[in-house]
Structures are given as C-alpha cells and as structure tokens.
Amino acid sequence: MLETFNSLMMGFAVAFDPKVFMYAVGGCIIGTLVGMMPGLGPLAGISLLLPATFGLNPIIAIVLLAGVYYGAMYGGSTTSILMRIPGEAASVMTCVDGYAMTQNGRAGPALAIAAIGSFFAGTVGVIGLMLMAPTLASFALRFGPPEYTALLLMGLFVLAYMSGGSMLKTLAMAFFGLLLGMIGIDVMSGYTRFSFGMVELGDGVGIVPVAVGLFGISEILMTAGQAEPPKVQRPKLRELIPSREEFRLSLGPIVRGSLLGFAIGIIPGSAHVISSFVSYGVERRLSKHPERFGKGAIEGVAGPESANNSAATGAFVPMLALGIPTGPVTAVMIAAIMVHGILPGPMLIQQQPDLFWGFVASMYVGNLVLLILNLPMVGLFVNLLRIPYAYLYPCVLAFCILGCYSVSNSVTDVWIMLAMGAIGYGLRKFGFDLAPVALGLVLGPMLELSLRQSLALSGGTYGIFLERPIALTMFVLALVLLAFALKPVIFKGKDWRAGVGLDDPPPG
Amino acid sequence: MKTRYLLPVVLLACGVAQAQDVFPSRTITMIVPFPPGGVADVTGRPTAAALEKVLKQPVAVTNRPGAGGAVGNAAVANAKPDGYTVLMALSSITVIPEADKLFNRKPAYTLEQFAPVALVSADPVILVVHPSLPVKTVKEVIALARKQPGELSYSSSGVYGALHMPMEMFLHAAKLKMRHVPTTGGGPAITQLLGGHVTMTAGGPAAITSHVKAGKLRPIVTWGAERHPNYKEVPTFKEQGMDIVYYIWAGMFVPVATPEPAVKVLRDAMRQAVADPDFKSQMAKVNSPVSYLDAPDFAKYVDADAKRLAAVVKVVGKVGN
C-alpha cells in the first residue's frame, strides 16, 4: 500500500510537470469539444492527433490522447441532453431522460449531474486501475467467447426494463435492431448478407449513423412537424443547480453505474458500449417509480453517464497491464506509445513506472480539470437553448452530417443517418421507443460472433457454456433476470406497466 | 481602367497553369483501408509524414475502413487517376478479389486497377502457442495435432484474413485439421490465445514481441524466407522441410491510369522517404522494419504473392461447407 502511495506521488510529480499538465488540460478541452460534436467520437479525435504525438515524449503523448478520450466521454452527454443527439454511441441512453429533462426545463441539473457522475466514475475508474490493474487484467483475459456470449445475453435481457412503452413494441424494436445488425459480411464464413452488392455495407451499418439518425434527425423532424414553433427556453440561473432531491436520487445510480461500468470496461472487446444500456436497465429495475423513466428521471442520466465514463477508464486496464487493445481507441493509443519504442505489454508497469504512474496521476488531474471545466459551462451550454429553432436546427443538422461523415469518411453513412432519421420519425409517430433499436444493433453482431466462436471452439457442442464457471454463473444470472422479466407476462397485472396504464398505446 | 484589374488576373492564371504542370501542387490523400491503430495505419502515418518532407506538400491520411479493406481499396481503384489519391494497402489486397470470385460476388475491385508504387514493409508471421502447451518445435505441434485430430484450435484475424491464410498454408502442407476461431482483427486473435481459449495463432512480430518477452506466448516457427533478426532462435518453415512462405506486407498503390510522370515523382519520393532516418527509426520501433522495393520489383512481388494466395483460397474453399 505504501509502495503504491509512493509510486503515485512520483506519478503526480510527473503529472504536475508544467508541460505534461498543459497537454493534459489541452487534451481534455479538445476531447470535450470532440465529444460535443454529434457523431464525432473519441476515435476520430485521437486518430487525428496521433501524428502530432510522434514528436512528443511518450508520457505527454499518452496523457494528451487519454485526455481527448475521456474528455470526449464527458462531452458526449451535452448534445444528448440538450438536443437529443448522441455525441457518441455510449450516450444513446442519456438522450432518453436527459432530453426529457431539458423539455421539463431541467437541462441545467441534467448537465450538472452528468458532469458530477462522470467525475465520480472517472475517479473510481482510476482508483481501480491503480490498485488492481494487473490482477484484474489477468481475470479479464479469462473472458473468452463463451463468457462473452453469457455477458451479452444478460445485456439483451436488460431490454425488458429499458423501455417505457408496451413490451410488444419494445421487442419489435429490439428485433428491428438485431436485424439491422445482420447486415454485412458474416465474420465466420465470409458470406455477405443483405448488402445488395454495396461494398460499403460490407461491415454492416455503424451505430453512430443509426443513433444520430434515429434520435437526433427524428427530433429535428418532429419539431419541424409541430403546428406551432416550440417555445424557446429561458433558463434562470437558479434552475441550473440540481435540487437536493435530485442529488439524493442520483447518488445511488452514480455509485452503481461507476462500479458496473468499470467491471464491463475491463473486458477486452467492445462491450463497454453496453455498460450505459445495462446501467439504465438496472436503475429502472431498482427504482420505486419506474414509470418516471423516459419522462425525465434524473437517475436515467446519472447511471448511464457514470457507467460510460468508468467503462472508458476500465478499458485502460488490459491496455496498460497486458498491452492488448480493448477497442479501436486503445489500439491507437498503443500505436502512439509504440512509435516511441515502448512496448505495451505485461512488463510495462515495471519497466516504465513513470509512464504508468504519470498516466494514472494525470487522469486524476484530468478528471478534476474536466469537472471544473464543465460545471461552469453548464450555464453557457444551456443558453444554447435560447437560440430560436429556426437558426439552431439547421446548424445542428449540418454538424450531424459532418460528424457522421467523419467517422469513416463515408457518404454511405450519411445516407444511412438520413434514412434512419426518416424511419425514426415514422416510428415515433406511432409511439415506438427507439433505444431498443440501438441496443439490438450493438448487441446483435457481438452476440452472434461470440456464440459462433464458442461453438467453433467446442466443435459444435453447447456443453462449452456449462463447463466454464464464469460463463455458467452469468448464464444463471441471465436466467434469473429473464424470469423476473417474464413474471408479469405470466402473472398478468403484476407489472408496473399495467399499474400506470403504459401497456395502452401512449396518447398522440 | 480595366487593364489594371486584368494584370493580376492574368498573373494569377499563369500561376495556376504553372502549378498544374508540377506534380504535386496540392494535398495528396493517402487512403488507409483499415481503422486507426492497425498495421496499415501505423505504417501509413509515418510514411505520409516522411513523404511530406520530400514532396513539400501535405499528405493527409484518410481511414476508409470496411469489409476487411475492400472499401478503401475499391475507393482508390475508382478514384480520379491524377496521383493525388494513393493507397497504403496490406497484403490482403490480393485475397479479397479471390474471395469475391469464390462467392460469385461482383468484385469490389480487381488487381488490374492498381499500379504498384513501392513496397514499404514486409513482416513474416510467426506461429505462437500458449505456453501451457507442451510443444517447443513445429514437429511436436504436428505430432500433437495428429494425436488429437480436430481438437486443437487457432484464432485468426477473420476468414480469408491476413492471419487465416498462413495457418491454412501450414495445415494444408502438414495435412492437419484444427478448429478455426475467426475474430475481428490481429489484436483480438492474440487476446484469444493469451487467455488460453485457443491453442495457437499466427502473429506479426510487432504484435507478439512484448508477450513473448514476458513468457506469455511461445514462438515456434516463422513463415519468413529467413530467420527474423529479433527472433534468431526461431527456425523457418523451410528449415523444417516445409516449403511455405508468408509475409504481411504494406505497400503503396495508385489507380492504374495515373499518368507516368506523377507515378515517377511518387516513386522517387518514396525512395527518399524510406531512407529518412526518422522514418526508419519509427518503423523499427513498431517492430516493422522497412523493406523497400521500387515499382518494377514490387509488381513482381505482388504477382507472386497473389498467385500463392489465390491457390490457398481455392484450397480453403468456402468455409463451413
């Protein structure tokens, strides 16, 4: 323990070196801006900066890139809350209740809670990274395809708690999402599915164009479709600060979201996206008033936002402790330090203590900087709502198109986004919930791949899921979740949905 | 009065005309058909930086990932052939059209649509096993696989991908059967092996070095024509009596109709760029030393590789049938 403390002090000495500190702050600011741009995620931000880091020393390079990464995670919530446009895939759930809070005139508290939750989660993540990186990393490696399958199935069962509408409509939308996920080259056999000869569809449809289209573009269309222009909000300073009640409600979700996000984040693969979905489902399940979700429940902002931030930090665990990338973002960061001749791998922490501890310390500093940066900006951001819609929305639309294009420089993505906007508009008119589409699209391909990888491993025997302890435990948990979800279906009338009349089609 | 305005316009027009004569007069776009952080990207970005120094024009790297590289490759194949769009492709460029043929798909592009400019790097892949596996030589691997037919497994970067091809070459040459677990890239393939979920994989030197040093992976044999300088103790397949060679290479291409003078400028620029000390040291640090070939030799190299891999694709056939 004392050793850790001493190393951390050494790390802080590195982090407070004026040059390192400057780059950390700079990275955080760039990241916040990148995250705010709809569609433009952390990956685009750090890959643009990658060549610029070749000339820097490796500590500065990794501190800068990490700043951009978690800065983007902070910034991603802003547009989700204010305009219902997910800045990146992990913010999809924030759109639902965050934007509902904006419509209720509570945009300020939503932004503030998102920033505070992100700060708490980021700090929890760094502490976890610092104390347990090597132990956790070797545990995370035990997550092979069968364990992954079980995890994703659990994620899928969370769907039952996710939506506010009728169960039938939720499942229909999840099905639609899973179908969208089937598009593209089948990784196991090389066959192309539903691509209609378009090479661009080879990798399937991305989550970013779909999420921005379904949530953002459809919202713009809905507003345009109203008979009267919506009233421009004039938020007062008093309304920017969360009330005591809101703080009280957010505390639990923030703590649970942070722990959950970190646990999911350390697993290699791209599962960290589901951390915000799972957190939302958990909060709704635990809430005494689940009917408030979807109508501006602050827990629905606090949980997912914390989860996605601590998942982002969790992703550094396998990267620093084992040198394996958890996703494209960490792959770029590994490339950035490899260019300096440092091999990220199991020996990194011993061989490059100043790099590791400097990095850890700079993340403490960075999280604090982001909180200080973001809280006062809440007032500024909320004032964006004063801009009349006639001016605001065309700009937002332009940013959506730009951001979406820049993900993989593909015009096809822009068309997908626009088409999804139209589909989202239609579905919302009929009272369908859109979050399950996003979850289905994220989960579908991952679930299919890991299921089929498991079967390839076992030579086609399903027994592999029962032989492995972690997988078996998670399957049992998933079944329990499923049983809870099915209970109201079997014993009709016990569900809260019926209690508040949600199983009837919503009015309008 | 009017002439006063005319003169600058004429001068400007001359300037434009002159600038058009000299290639390059504006930004060159280098398409990398893989996401940031991959081998093509890690090779492409330093190459672009080195080219900038030589050409005195910006070289912008654009990632166009998708369909195992087919999207970016096709984008360059169909780009305006003026020398301002170049491709940093990996060896998979020759496999994709073959796989398209296999599935009776309209090919995204054909190899004839490209003119090679220069080979930048070529890394032999190395067979690595989990250290818990009681084998140290390729003979022992084969013996173990014979004893447990169809029980051993390997991970790859994806079907017909850069790490699937060498494994199939090996299995075919040694007449073995193993379970194949495709993943979504070189990184995930190694993660599967580190976790002990599969028994072996083929890995590029850059990706495996730190794990081998830490004793988490055991190198067995290399697909290189000769031993790798960093892995002197690892024998080649040829030494073991199997005639199989495989490299993951990265090289620059332009659309085939690109005018000869522009290609010449790019070839000269590449020759100078690869000699740049900064570039060399960057590439050496990512464990992917420069192995440069100019266009004529590179063309022969691509041809030979394409033939070899086409044969493998035919042998593999449709997976899962």
Residue A67 has pLDDT above 50, yes or no: yes
Q: Is A57 exposed, middle or buried (0-12, 13-18, 19+ CB in 10 A)?
A: middle
Inspect the interface and report whether the beta carbons of B103 and A322 lie closer than 8 Å. Answer: no
Residue B3 has pLDDT above 70, yes or no: no
Distance from CA of B226 to the nearest CA of A (A): 24
Round the average pLDDT of chain B to a whole number and report it: 86
Shared-domain flag, residues B135 and B100: no
d(CA A290, CA A322): 41
Inspect the interface and report whether the beta carbons of B36 and A334 lie closer than 8 Å. Answer: no
Residue at which a domain ends, from B205, B222, B239: B222
d(CA A436, CA A445): 15
Candidates B36, B62, B158; nearest CB to A50: B36
Find residue A211's DSSP bridge partners.
none
Instruction: Residue window 170-209, chain A: list those with CB within 8 Å of chain B.
Output: 184-185, 187-192, 197, 199-200, 202-203
Tell me if B278 is assigned to some domain: yes
Residues 6+ apart with CB under 8 A from B141: B127, B129, B135, B200, B220
Output the pLDDT for position B14. Answer: 45
Residues 6+ apart with CB under 8 A from B49: A51, A54, B59, B278, B279
d(CA B170, CA B189): 17
CA proximity to B191, closest of A114, A140, A471: A140
Residue A127 has pLDDT above 80, yes or no: yes
d(CA B239, CA B225): 9
**Mutate which of B191, B216, B288, B318 to test chain A, going by most A C-beta atoms within 10 A?**
B191
SS3 per residue for A136-165? HHHHHHCCCHHHHHHHHHHHHHHHHHCCCC
Tell me if B17 is assigned to some domain: no
Inspect the interface and report whether the beta carbons of A51 and B158 lie closer than 8 Å. Answer: no
Chain A residue numbers touching B183 (CB-CB < 8 A): 187, 449, 453
Residue B15 has pLDDT above 60, yes or no: no
Number of domains in chain B: 2
Span of A97-106, B14-23, B83-92 with lowest mean pLDDT: B14-23
Q: Is the dihedral of CA A157, A163, A166, A170 positive or negative?
A: negative
Q: Is A10 exposed, middle or buried (0-12, 13-18, 19+ CB in 10 A)?
A: middle
Residue B214 has pLDDT above 60, yes or no: yes
B298 with A167: CB under 8 angstroms? no
Phi, psi (deg, nearest 5) at residue B314 = -65, -40
Tell me if B299 is assigned to some domain: yes
Chain A residue numbers touching B198 (CB-CB < 8 A): 457
Candidates A332, A339, A348; nearest CB to B286: A339
Shared-domain flag, residues B279 and B212: no
Q: Kindly report the CA angle at B32 between B268 and A204, in degrees rounded to 5? A: 160
Chain A residue numbers touching B44 (CB-CB < 8 A): none
Residue A422 has pLDDT above 90, yes or no: yes
Output the pLDDT for position B224. Answer: 92
CA proximity to A82, closest of A428, A368, A458, A389: A389
CA proximity to A91, closest of A118, A124, A122: A118
Taking CA atoms, A52 is separated from A71, B207, B260, B290, in Å, by 18, 23, 33, 22
**Mutate which of B167, B210, B216, B316 to test chain A, going by most A C-beta atoms within 10 A?**
B210
Phi, psi (deg, nearest 5) at residue B13 = -60, -40
Find residue B247's DSSP bridge partners.
B124
Candidates A187, A188, A408; nearest CB to B65: A408
Kindly state the average pLDDT of the residues B186-210.
Answer: 88
Candidates B61, B62, B214; nearest CB to A346: B214
Top pLDDT among B287 and A449 is at A449
Output the pLDDT for position A10. Answer: 87
* Span B43-66, pLDDT tens digits: 888 899 899 999 998 888 888 877
Inspect the interface and report whether the beta carbons of B64 and A347 lie closer than 8 Å. Answer: no
Top pLDDT among A238 and A3 is at A3
Phi, psi (deg, nearest 5) at residue A147 = -65, -40
Shared-domain flag, residues B157 and B208: yes
State the CB neighbour count (10 A cutoff) for residue A56.
16
Find residue B114's DSSP bridge partners.
B255
Helices then strands (H, E): number in chain A?
Answer: 23, 2
Distance from CA of B10 to the nearest CA of A (A): 37
Output the pLDDT for position A271. Answer: 67
d(CA B218, CA B3): 78
Q: Identify the CATH number of the domain in which residue B283 sits.
A: 3.40.190.150
Distance from CA of B5 to the nearest CA of A (A): 37
Instruction: Residue window 207-266, chain A: list those with CB within 8 Å of chain B.
Output: none
Inspect the interface and report whether the beta carbons of B66 and A203 lie closer than 8 Å. Answer: yes
B251 with B117: CB under 8 angstroms? yes
Tokens of A160: 């039952």
> Confidence band (pLDDT; 50, 70, 90) for A120?
very high
Tell me if B243 is assigned to some domain: no
Helix, strand, coil share (%) of chain A residues, nearest 5? 75, 0, 25
Looking up tokens 């075919």 gives B172
Rounded (10°) CA dihedral B184, B189, B192, B197:
100
Shared-domain flag, residues B102 and B169: no
**Which residue from B minimizes the CA distance to A200?**
B71
What is the residue type of A217? I
Shared-domain flag, residues B113 and B134: no
A85 with A37: CB under 8 angstroms? no
Shared-domain flag, residues B165 and B108: no
Tell me if B4 is assigned to some domain: no
Q: Is A169 exposed, middle or buried (0-12, 13-18, 19+ CB in 10 A)?
A: buried
Taking CA atoms, B117 is separated from B39, B61, B289, B297, in Å, by 19, 17, 18, 10
Chain B residue numbers touching A184 (CB-CB < 8 A): 67
**Which residue from A minimizes the CA distance to B99?**
A190
Inspect the interface and report whether the beta carbons of A190 and B108 lie closer than 8 Å. Answer: no
Output the pLDDT for position A488. Answer: 64
A167 with A492: CB under 8 angstroms? no
**Mutate which of B29, B160, B194 to test chain A, going by most A C-beta atoms within 10 A?**
B194
Its domain, for residue B105, covers 26-122+249-316
Q: Is A12 exposed, middle or buried (0-12, 13-18, 19+ CB in 10 A)?
A: middle
d(CA B125, CA B130): 16
**Which residue from A minimizes the CA distance to B195?**
A141
To 10 degrees, what angle do helices A299-314 and A92-103 make?
Answer: 150
Residue B98 has pLDDT above 70, yes or no: yes
Q: Kindly report the CA angle at A356 between A355 and A360, in degrees rounded to 5? A: 115
* Span A155-188, pLDDT tens digits: 887 776 666 667 788 889 989 999 999 998 787 7
Phi, psi (deg, nearest 5) at residue A95 = -55, -40
Tell me if B244 is assigned to some domain: no
Kindly state the average pLDDT of the residues B68-84.
Answer: 87
Residues 6+ apart with CB under 8 A from A48: none
Chain B residue numbers touching A138 (CB-CB < 8 A): none
Inspect the interface and report whether the beta carbons of A50 and B187 lie closer than 8 Å. Answer: no
Q: Kindly report the CA angle at B108 between B318 and B160, in degrees rounded to 5? A: 30
d(CA A95, CA A276): 11
Round the average pLDDT of chain A to a whole number and report it: 83
d(CA B168, CA A250): 54
Tell me if B1 is assigned to some domain: no
Kindly state the average pLDDT of the residues A36-62.
Answer: 79
Give the residue extent of every domain in chain A: 2-499
Taking CA atoms, A385 is separated from A74, A79, A82, A237, A437, in Å, by 19, 11, 7, 14, 28
Tokens of A38: 């709809």
Output the pLDDT for position B19. Answer: 47
Shared-domain flag, residues B110 and B80: yes
Phi, psi (deg, nearest 5) at residue B251 = -150, 165
Output the pLDDT for position A235. Answer: 66
Instruction: Residue window 394-453, chain A: list those with CB within 8 Å of chain B.
Output: 408-410, 449, 453
* Span A452-503, pLDDT tens digits: 999 988 888 888 888 888 889 888 888 887 777 676 666 655 555 555 545 4
Residue at which a domain ends, from B206, B222, B238: B222
- The DSSP H or E segment spanning A426 is helix A411-429
Chain A residue numbers touching B64 (CB-CB < 8 A): 408-410
Q: Identify the CATH number of the domain in which residue B146 sits.
A: 3.40.190.10
What percent of chain A stands above pLDDT 70?
Answer: 91
Output the pLDDT for position A418. Answer: 94
Reported ipTM: the value is 0.80
Q: What is the number of CB-based contacts under 8 A between chain A and chain B?
A: 166
Inspect the interface and report whether the beta carbons of B35 and A331 lie closer than 8 Å. Answer: yes
